Chains A and B, each alone.
Chain A
Amino acid sequence: MAKEMLSVNNLSISFGGLRAVDEFNLTINEGELYGLIGPNGAGKTTVFNLLTGVYKPDVGIIKLDGKDITGQPTIAINKEGIARTFQNIRLFSDMSVLDNVKVGLHNRFEYSTLSAVLRLPKYFKVEKEMNEKAMELLKVFDLDKEADLKASQLPYGKQRKLEIARALATDPKLLLLDEPAAGMNPNETKELMETISFIRKNFNLTILLIEHDMKLVSGICERLTVLNFGRVLCEGPTSEVLNNPEVITAYLGE
């Protein structure tokens, strides 16, 4: 039996009178590539926001690698090992591509503010290590040539990749990708699928992704959960779920 990386139990949150997520359950094993799908407004991004501590759940328990992280602040959750990307890209747009990744490395390579201001040897040593590590990550996403550009100058598809690179820089156990293929053309999507498979293998990752592109979902996800109106509609291996008549109805309507 594989180790459970993420286990979510009975998670619920309401906004006003609306139950955005209702008794949500999810178990993802270590190393798995898991898909969270569902029609617009089903509550998928809200689940991500709950997992990363942006929202505090009304009830429910979230465990990462056996440790209860429910209700922790976002920073603590990131340090525990969850990193994410955003549906509407959130890069540090006025900073360079390289610096975006270096922000991701912030908690892994440390020196004090004082040694930065005084430019002590520690500063130069750690900065060098950070640069090397960041370039290494950028290379994975084929962004190393754009390292000095401003993040906002990158084309859309590369911005999405940079967001993943930045998330990876925090050295997560679990990576949450919110619609990574949104706005990409079929070629870019194909390339992205390969990159996702590559990083999962080489970075020992467990990945949970939200996606509308069914080609991507059926191409790389091993298991799926379908969310509808905040509730789990069904879950299971990808091919089974996608052929479930209930799921088809939910997507296409009656």
Chain B
Amino acid sequence: MSFLTNIINGISLGSVYAIIALGYTMVYGIAKMLNFAHGDIIMVGAYAVFLITSALGFNPLVTVLIAMFLCTFLGITIERIAYKPLRNAGSPLAVLITAIGVSYLLQNLALILFGADAKVFKSVISLPPVKLFGGQITITGETLVTIILCIIIMTALTIFVGKTKAGQAMLAVSEDKGAASLMGINVNATIALTFAIGSALAAVAGVLLCSSYPSLTPYTGSMPGIKAFVAAVFGGIGSIPGAFIGGIILGILETLAKAYISTQLSDAIVFAALIIVLLVKPTGILGKKIMEKV
């Protein structure tokens, strides 16, 4: 039974990774950059919820909405100030280093504002735990909400990208910016929208992450951010179902490794799995094969 519990916990952690990865994969698809600051948006979202709940005591749902709004604003601002001027810089490294700078900036801003000590994050989810098999397995409210939310978000995003005009514009811009703008698509607005969605999702992920793992520091978002990117690559970058599958697999893998092999080595095992997947399928599980034209 403990195995099943571990699997459920793994799916829950994986759902958090998946939500971050969904945002990450969209941002990557459109900006073609490793956005190292993406993980730190998670941290900002979590701090926002932490502060609003402890200071103002708003209803959790309202709090989360405010955090999402804040992160959306932050994401768009970062894109506009730090990334947009470098879009045609000639080297992809320029914007990568800038993203690292933004990451340092957010972490150290949080360090100054909130200190280095870990804050105990009070879960925003007040759902009672569900007991299965006569109480042998307990699924916490957090787990349940995380998994359900992840599925809802994935479905909504799939519909958004596939069926709406803005979603189609995103696909077009990620395919070819120049051609998209010739077709009358507002490339800047589309990219900003993508960052907005990605950042809002990061806020949600931050809240869910800290509800399940309640210790919050300025560096909370950094590793989940990297792992979410790994999840996105795992599933095939640019692919929405790929990010979902990648996230879930990663979460299960990490939880099982922690439970049965070694806490110390769980990250190593996750990364080793990524390497193996990329060697077998260089563009991820659901990635498209790209051929270089000669």
Tell me the complex Cα distance, A184–B294, Å. 21
Q: For the complex, is A25 an interface residue (Cβ under 8 Å from B)?
A: no
Kindly identify, within residues 30 to 79 of chain A, every residue whose CB is under 8 Å from any CB belonging to chain B: 45, 49, 54
Residues on A with C-beta less than 8 A from B294 are 45, 49, 54, 86
Interface string of A173-196 (1 = CB under 8 A from B): 000000000000000000000000
Tell me the complex Cα distance, A54–B294, Å. 8
Q: Please give me the residue from chain B that is nearest to A46 by CB atom.
A: B294
Q: How far is the CB of B240 from chain A (nearest CB, A)?
A: 25
Q: How far is the CB of A230 from chain B (nearest CB, A)?
A: 17
Tell me the complex Cα distance, A49–B291, Å. 14
Q: Is the interface of B mostly helix, strand, loop or mixed?
A: loop
Tell me the complex Cα distance, A241–B176, Å. 41
Tell me the complex Cα distance, A123–B294, Å. 34
Q: Please give me the residue from chain A that is nearest to B291 by CB atom.
A: A15
Tell me the complex Cα distance, A108–B178, Å. 43
Q: Please give me the residue from chain B that is nearest to A90 by CB atom.
A: B294
Tell me the complex Cα distance, A86–B294, Å. 8
Kindly identify, within residues 247 to 294 of chain B, every residue whose CB is under 8 Å from any CB belonging to chain A: 294
Residues on B with C-beta less than 8 A from A45 are 294
Q: How far is the CB of B92 from chain A (nearest CB, A)?
A: 15
Q: How far is the CB of A56 from chain B (nearest CB, A)?
A: 13
Q: How far is the CB of A13 from chain B (nearest CB, A)?
A: 13
Q: Please give me the residue from chain B that is nearest to A45 by CB atom.
A: B294
Tell me the complex Cα distance, A45–B294, Å. 8
Q: Please give me the residue from chain B that is nearest to A86 by CB atom.
A: B294
Residues on B with C-beta less than 8 A from A49 are 294
Tell me the complex Cα distance, A54–B291, Å. 12
Q: Please give me the residue from chain B that is nearest to A178 by CB atom.
A: B294
Q: Please give me the residue from chain A that is nearest to B293 by CB atom.
A: A88
Q: Please give me the residue from chain B that is nearest to A49 by CB atom.
A: B294
Q: Please give me the residue from chain A that is nearest to B292 by CB atom.
A: A54
Q: How far is the CB of B89 from chain A (nearest CB, A)?
A: 16
Q: How far is the CB of B294 from chain A (nearest CB, A)?
A: 5
Q: Please give me the residue from chain B that is nearest to A54 by CB atom.
A: B294
Interface string of A76-105 (1 = CB under 8 A from B): 000000000010000000000000000000
Q: How far is the CB of B186 from chain A (nearest CB, A)?
A: 30
Tell me the complex Cα distance, A200–B77, Å. 61
Q: How far is the CB of A153 from chain B (nearest CB, A)?
A: 15
Tell me the complex Cα distance, A86–B292, Å. 14
Q: How far is the CB of B123 from chain A (nearest CB, A)?
A: 52
Interface string of B39-74 (1 = CB under 8 A from A): 000000000000000000000000000000000000
Tell me the complex Cα distance, A54–B293, Å. 10
Tell me the complex Cα distance, A13–B45, Å. 54
Tell me the complex Cα distance, A49–B293, Å. 10
Tell me the complex Cα distance, A49–B292, Å. 12
Q: Please give me the residue from chain B that is nearest to A15 by CB atom.
A: B291
Q: How far is the CB of B109 from chain A (nearest CB, A)?
A: 38
Q: How far is the CB of A215 from chain B (nearest CB, A)?
A: 27
Q: Please give me the residue from chain B that is nearest to A55 by CB atom.
A: B294
Interface, chain B (partner A; CB < 8 A): 294
A-B contacts, 4 of them at CB < 8 A, read: A45-B294, A49-B294, A54-B294, A86-B294
> 4 tightest A-B contacts by CB?
A54-B294, A49-B294, A86-B294, A45-B294
